[in-house]
Every structure is written in structure tokens, then in C-alpha cells.
Amino acid sequence: MVIDINVTSACNLACTYCSEGFECGLSSKFNENTSVTLDNIEEFISQIPDQKKDIYFWGGEPFINWKFCKGVIDKYKDDEGFSFFFYTNGVYLRKYMDELVTYTQQLGKRLNIQVSYDGKAVNDRTRPTKRDEYLQIL
């Protein structure tokens, strides 16, 4: 079973094409972390009979709410039936690199990160930060 958790509506970017933000106003209107708690997650997951559970962290930018994501991973990392997935713009990867490397060593292929990166030319036109700066990811 795939369990999608929208961990925050906040994002550090202002991508003009973002279906989560610019088009519908979410990233500027709500900008808040989830009200779901680890206890809520545990209660929900305890009712799922599937042995395999894939937890997907979404946002906004999920690494803005890293503390919550880390809490979920720590809770279930020792259960081989769980895997974890992040969909991220990649900006915070350097900030959390040491912890992510440790998790990768512990989880192996049970941790996946997908970075949304469209290439320099597109990013220069369409992915400004909230302060109208442009990213230099790579």
C-alpha cells in the first residue's frame, strides 16, 4: 500500500508552473506544516493489513518539515515492510545530506528521493525562490 503524506504546504521556491502553489495559491496562501501527528500515522498504519507499506512524503517542499518526516522514518525504519519516498526540489539535500546518507546505509533501496529539476535554462526562467532569486543547485 502507498501512503501519501502531504507534510507541508510551504515551499521555498515560487515555480511558475507548480500545480501545488502558483496556479492555485497554496504555497503562498497556507504555508503551514501538516497537523497530522506521529500518533495519527501510527493509528492509521496499524489498521492496514498489507505487509508492504510505502510512505511518500510530499509538499510543498517536504524537507521544510524534516523533523516530522524523520520521526516517521525513525518509527518504521526497522520494519522491512516499510519504504520511504521523497518528492523534493532538491534545495535542502545538502543541509540534510549526513542524515540522508545514514538513512541510506540503514534502509538501502527502501529510501528513494526524486528531485524535480528541469534543467538550467528552464530553471532560470521558471523556478525563482520566494525572494525572486534563481537557484544554483548544481
pLDDT in tens, 84-106: 999 998 989 999 999 999 999 99
Quick check: is 16 in a domain?
yes
Quick check: is 7 in a domain?
yes
Quick check: is 15 in a domain?
yes
Confidence band, pLDDT 50/70/90 cuts, at residue 9: confident
What local confidence, expressed as pLDDT, does residue 105 receive? 97
What local confidence, expressed as pLDDT, does residue 30 receive? 57
Give backbone dihedrals phi and psi of 3, rounded to 5 degrees, phi first: -115, 110
Name the residue with cell 538513512.
Answer: 103
Quick check: is 44 in a domain?
yes
Q: How far from chain centre, in Å, is Cα 67?
A: 11
Confidence band, pLDDT 50/70/90 cuts, at residue 133: low
Number of domains in the chain: 1
What local confidence, expressed as pLDDT, does residue 23 receive? 46
Q: What is the DSSP letter of 97?
A: H
Quick check: is 33 in a domain?
yes
Angle at 91 between CA 10 and CA 134, to 5 degrees: 90
CA distance 119 to 67: 29
Quick check: is 137 in a domain?
no
Grid cell, residue 78, equals 526497522
Using one digit for the tens of pLDDT, what is the confidence trace for 27-73? 455 567 788 899 999 999 999 999 999 999 998 899 999 999 999 99
Find the domain containing 55 and state its range.
2-126
CA distance 5 to 116: 18
Quick check: is 134 in a domain?
no
Quick check: is 96 in a domain?
yes
Name the residue with cell 526524486.
Answer: 114
pLDDT at 138 over 50: no
